[in-house]
Amino acid sequence: MGFYLVQLLTGLSNACALFLVASGLTLIFGVTRIVNFSHGSFYMLGAYIAYTLVEQSSGAFGFWGSLLLAGIAVGIIGLIVELIVLKPIYKSPELYQLVATFGVILVIQDLAQWIWGAEDLFGRRAPGFKGENATVDIAGTLMPTYDLAIIAIALSVLGILWFIFNRTRFGILVRAATLDREMVSALGVNQSLLFSGVFFLGSMLAGIGGAVQLPKGGASLLMDFEILSPIFVVVVIGGMGSIWGVFVASILVSVLQAFGVLFFPQSTLVLMFLVMAVVLIFRPWGLYGKEESSTEHAAGEIKEPLREVGSKMKMVFLTIIALLIISPIFLEGYNLNTIIDVLVFCLFAASLHYILGTGGLVSFGHAAFYGGGAYAAALLVTYANTPMELAIFFAPFLAGFVALIIGWFCVRLTGVYFAMLTLAFAQVLWSIVFQWSAVTKGDDGLTDVYPQIITSGSILHYYVVLILAVGGIILLRAMAHTPFGYSLRGGRDSSLRSEAIGMDVKLIQMSSFVFAGAMAGLAGSLFVFTKGSVFPDEMTIARSFDALLMVFLGGVQSLTGPISGAAAFTLLHEWLVQITEYWRGCLGILIICIVILLPNGLAGIGELFRNIFTKTPKEEAAK
């Protein structure tokens, strides 16, 4: 009996820790409609700052005071981020806001490493919760007392939040703004100040969540991404913007996990996502969420029609392809491999662009299909003795099948909801690969999956990658020009019109999602074909973000964007890694600058190119 009680309390304690962080995220989304990906970074900063403060302090007062101070400090950092990074882009398309907060993640990661070093730090135990007081006997089973303290802390925070939202003017304004921002401003409330206040409060909650975690788990540089998927899952389950929803979802997920671990120790992470999937089947907008007419142009409005490629542009393409064909003559080894990397990423980015640019659906989990294709190929080679050459052929189909399942859930939603859900499902896949080590070897990855006939590093190998990657990119481009691609674009421009001319928009989006997933799978299998191994890293949020950045850098507007973006990103990455240890931070600052200084992305530059290279209507008429 005691055992189950302790299990329940542990679950509740985890729920409380999760709630502290996730409540801040949902609060910020509710009022500002910004999905703050850097929320996990604020959580991590909370732990690090608390570590430093605790080391300087003494006594119970000093300890608990340090945790609180750390929260306030993180709140201030959040406020600074809001003022510098987000304030200028509140009116930009959602994609740019998401990319900007991702830039913040990179910067904070490197800042933390620079200040506190790469090693994990272990926090001091809380005074009064050490030695013989560290555990308490509950009906014969020992329970860490600090877990009980976390429950107490979270409940007090919930109480304080309740007081703020129901008894203070600020709280009432926040609730009103969550319901109708425009009306609040028409009643004389300065929105800008309100947003800043909410950002401070939300970030502070993340900071406190991180600080409270310190005596339990310490502080490490992985905390930011680790917390991201659980908090997004509970925010999505609870209904985005609902604090109460997050509380219920945190308890649901954590308690189920606490008991699930008894029965399926290998699949605790998957369990969390299963709960989410079940909830979303019945309530696509979460437990307490309301259906929202999301803005139709999450990736920014595209106003230029697709024109046939002009003769100058064709020359450029042909020249590049010709150069690629002859490059083994004067390049070898490392340089040839860099070209292969760029080609694979170009295909990956182009496949994301198909669904994001042409389809207007901002997918945040595209790595699921890239990694999915990679794992499909590697598993076929490892377990079915398939030759690698054949596995490349099957991988896109398996990745497409994965996209079919994920797409079924996701295409029902739009805008940030679609983004959140694709991200969550990508994490499901990642957690399966990560935890199901009997099959996937978990963190050790699948190695020695080299092709049998074509030796890696040979010229033949290079040409296989070249043909498949370039072929894939050309296929994606060609598809955009067919009725299938046009139907997808039509659904993005105006789903109302599509339905009114007899098109099934969701079915078109669904099949396009599968097609894009399959092409990402091809890129993933080419990756394995080249590297001879695959690790769960290929499925992480970070990998999905890489693809997004490539598409973003090249500009969402044009079909050539993802290719130049992928090339630029890969080369920039290679170069930054060579010159500085803190390449992430540099990249992050660069991303933030691009988002702020060019609030419409790189469209302006893209347009310039298009004007030079495409046929104008006049040219066409003259023909």
8-state DSSP, 534: B
Binding window for another protein (CB under 8 A); candidates: 30-38, 55-63, 488-496, 524-532: 488-496
With 0-12 CB in 10 A as exposed, 13-18 as middle and 19+ as buried, what is 318?
exposed
Query: Least distance from C-beta 477 to another protein, angstroms?
Result: 12
- The number of beta carbons lying within 10 Å of the beta carbon of residue 61 is 10
Non-local (6+) Cβ contacts of 246 within 8 A are 19, 22, 23, 26, 234, 235, 238
Q: Is residue 97 a contact residue for another protein (CB under 8 A)?
A: no
Kind plus residue range of the DSSP H or E element containing 92? none
Q: How many other CB atoms sit within 10 Å of the CB of residue 192?
A: 13
Residue 461-480 contact track with another protein, rule CB under 8 A, x = bound: ------------------x-
Single out the residue of 220, 147, 175 nearest to residue 27, CA to CA.
175
d(CA 378, CA 441): 11
Q: 522 with 472: CB under 8 angstroms?
A: yes
Which residue stretch of 26-34, 54-62, 206-214, 298-306 sits at the interface with another protein (rule: CB under 8 A)? 298-306
Site for another protein in 502-531 (CB under 8 A): 502-504, 508, 511
One-letter amino acid for residue 58 of the chain? S
Torsion of CA 589, 590, 592, 597, to 10 degrees: 130
- Restricted to residues 391-450, the positions that interact with another protein (CB under 8 A) are none
Between 302 and 321, how does the x/- string for binding to another protein read (CB under 8 A)?
xxxxx-x-------------
Token representation of residue 526 = 């080419």
In whole angstroms, the minimum distance from the beta carbon of 376 to another protein comes to: 24
Residue 337 is a binding residue for another protein (CB under 8 A): no
Min dist. Cβ of residue 597 to another protein (A): 23
Q: How far apart are CA 70 and CA 79, in angstroms?
A: 14
Does 574 sit near another protein (CB under 8 A)?
A: no
Binding region for another protein (CB under 8 A) out of 268-276, 299-307, 447-455, 462-470: 299-307
Binding characters for another protein, 171-210, by CB under 8 A (x = yes): -xx-xx--xx-xxxxxxxxxx-------------------
* DSSP per-residue letters across 60-87: HHHHHHHHHHHHHHHHHHHHHHIIIIIG
Give the tokens for residue 504: 């099934």
Is residue 620 close enough to count as binding another protein by CB under 8 A? yes
Q: Determine the Cα–Cα distance for residues 472 and 475; give it in Å rounded to an integer.
A: 5
Nearest distance in Å: CB 515, another protein: 9
Give whichever of 309 and 324 is closer to another protein, judged by the CB atom. Answer: 309
Stretch that binds another protein, among 45-53, 82-90, 118-126, 487-495 (CB under 8 A): 487-495
Binding mask 123-162 for another protein (x = CB under 8 A): ----------------------------------------
Binding site for another protein (CB under 8 A): 169, 172-173, 175-176, 179-180, 182-191, 301-306, 308, 479, 481-487, 489-490, 492-494, 496-497, 499-504, 508, 511, 617, 620-621
